[in-house]
């Protein structure tokens, strides 16, 4: 079921069943729909990401869990778990700053992980404009045997 079908379902259900039944039906409909990966406005290649990290150009955000971040992360990256967006946003507000055009790169575990896209989308909703995702994520960084940091 695509979004148009889901909206049509919602409208028709509202007209025929009443709002309480509709909410339950819509919730069940969206629970069984497969999540679609949101395409990033800009994706970095491994080389571009490595160069940004080494040049300390902009902010690098790690969208993995805080536990994973503590065990190892890209040098200079900031922990920004996608599952705690609001808390991360408040905690790093000063580092994010008022300049919403500063370059920010987000990574997570690997190309299959949707957390980086989730953080990118939410930051875009907050007005940040220069957002990029590195799809290779932590796995690609480790595979290349590049420097790592641990802890906070």
Half-sphere exposure for 115 (CA within 13 Å, toward CB): 22
Residue 20: domain span: 3-32
Are 25 and 47 contained in the same domain?
no
Closest listed residue to residue 74, CA positions, set 100, 125, 109: 109
Are 65 and 134 contained in the same domain?
yes
Q: Which residues pair with 87 in a beta bridge?
A: none
Q: What is the pLDDT of residues 39-92, one digit of tens each?
A: 445 899 999 999 999 999 899 999 999 999 999 999 999 999 999 999 999 999
pLDDT of 14 reads 41
State which H helix or E strand residue 79 sits in.
strand 78-79
pLDDT of 41 reads 56
Contact 58, 130 (CB under 8 A): yes
Are 16 and 55 contained in the same domain?
no
pLDDT of 152 reads 86
Are 47 and 85 contained in the same domain?
yes
Are 73 and 138 contained in the same domain?
yes
pLDDT of 7 reads 39
pLDDT of 95 reads 86
């Amino acid at each position: 079921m695509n979004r148009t079908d889901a909206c049509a379902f919602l409208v028709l259900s509202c007209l025929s069943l009443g709002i309480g039944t509709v909410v339950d039906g819509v919730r069940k409909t969206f629970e069984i729909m497969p999540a679609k990966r949101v395409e990033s406005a800009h994706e970095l290649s491994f080389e571009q990401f490595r160069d940004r990290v080494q040049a300390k150009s902009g902010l690098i955000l790690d969208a993995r869990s805080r536990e994973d971040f503590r065990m190892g992360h890209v040098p200079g990256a900031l922990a920004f778990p996608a599952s705690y967006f609001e808390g991360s946003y408040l905690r790093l507000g000063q580092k994010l700053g008022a300049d919403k055009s500063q370059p920010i790169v987000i990574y997570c575990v690997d190309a299959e992980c949707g957390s980086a896209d989730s953080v990118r989308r939410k930051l875009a909703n907050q007005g940040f404009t220069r957002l990029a995702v590195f799809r290779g994520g932590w796995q690609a960084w480790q595979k290349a045997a590049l420097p790592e940091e641990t802890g906070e």
